[in-house]
Amino acid sequence: MAYDHKVILTDIDGVVFDWHTQFVNWMEMQGYKSTGMKHHDADIHLEFGIDYQEAVVKKEEFNTNMISSTLEPYGEADIWINKLYEEDYRFIGLTSFSDKPIAQYYRYLNLEDYFPTDCFASMIFLSPGETKREVLEQFSATNLIYIEDRILNVNSALRLGLKPILMSHEYNIHFKREPVFVANDWKQIYNYIKNQ
Ligand SMILES: [Mg+2]
């Protein structure tokens, strides 16, 4: 695969945007009570002590609501991704956010608020039931950097010959696996990339 720019693959929720905080606030406004034990988006039903299926419905409701276009950058993503953009990096976003056109529209709006239009050269929205592993396969053995907050996907990326970086959160703090770099924010990711 040939690119005109230096390319970085990245997950969006929990990496570029802080989906979690806004989703939890929105759930609490509707009377849902958080256990206070943070979980990854995929396991958010455990955070609220609700059925998996009910969480799927609530996530879809949230992601297709205009509120989902107002997520805040995570870990100073706006500062450091823009710095990388100026240094000729472009990003390919991989997200299981939603396959609904309205949700995808909100995601683009959200990105436009913080990044130049061509910063995210392309966005890949997963279809229902599709795994990140299946999508990552098209980038196998490229050694491209891939930033994620879900351990399952970091392991897939590693096996496929990518260079995963884990964005650290309470729910993945137990992860430790050479040679995966674990970052607390985008400044650390920036420095890691520049030292390659
Ligand atoms: Mg994520």
Alpha helices (runs of H) in 2-122, residue ranges in sequence order = 19-29, 44-48, 52-63, 77-86, 101-114
pLDDT at 2: 59
* Ligand 1 center from residue 148 Cα (angstroms): 6
Condensed to tens digits (0 to 9), the pLDDT of residues 24-36 reads: 999 999 999 999 9
Q: How confident is the model at residue 8 (pLDDT cuts 50, 70, 90)?
A: very high
Mean pLDDT score, 56-68: 97
pLDDT greater than 80 at residue 178: yes
Domain boundaries, the chain: 6-18+71-194, 19-69
* Ligand 1 center from residue 154 Cα (angstroms): 10
* Ligand 1 center from residue 165 Cα (angstroms): 12
User: For residue 82, which of 8, 30, 167 has the smallest C-alpha distance?
Assistant: 8
- CB under 5 Å of ion ligand 1: residues: 11, 13-14, 149
Condensed to tens digits (0 to 9), the pLDDT of residues 105-160 reads: 999 999 999 999 999 989 999 987 899 999 999 999 999 999 999 999 999 999 99
pLDDT at 1: 53
pLDDT at 96: 92
* Ligand 1 center from residue 18 Cα (angstroms): 9
* Ligand 1 center from residue 20 Cα (angstroms): 9
* Ligand 1 center from residue 153 Cα (angstroms): 9
Please return the burial class of 149, using the count of CB atoms within 10 Å of its CB with bins 0-12, 13-18 and 19+. Answer: buried
Is 80 strand, coil or helix?
helix
> φ and ψ at 87, to 5 degrees?
-95, 25
pLDDT greater than 80 at residue 3: no
pLDDT at 97: 92
* Ligand 1 center from residue 86 Cα (angstroms): 24
CATH assignment of 6-18+71-194, given 3.40.50.1000, 3.40.50.300, 1.10.10.10, 3.40.228.10? 3.40.50.1000
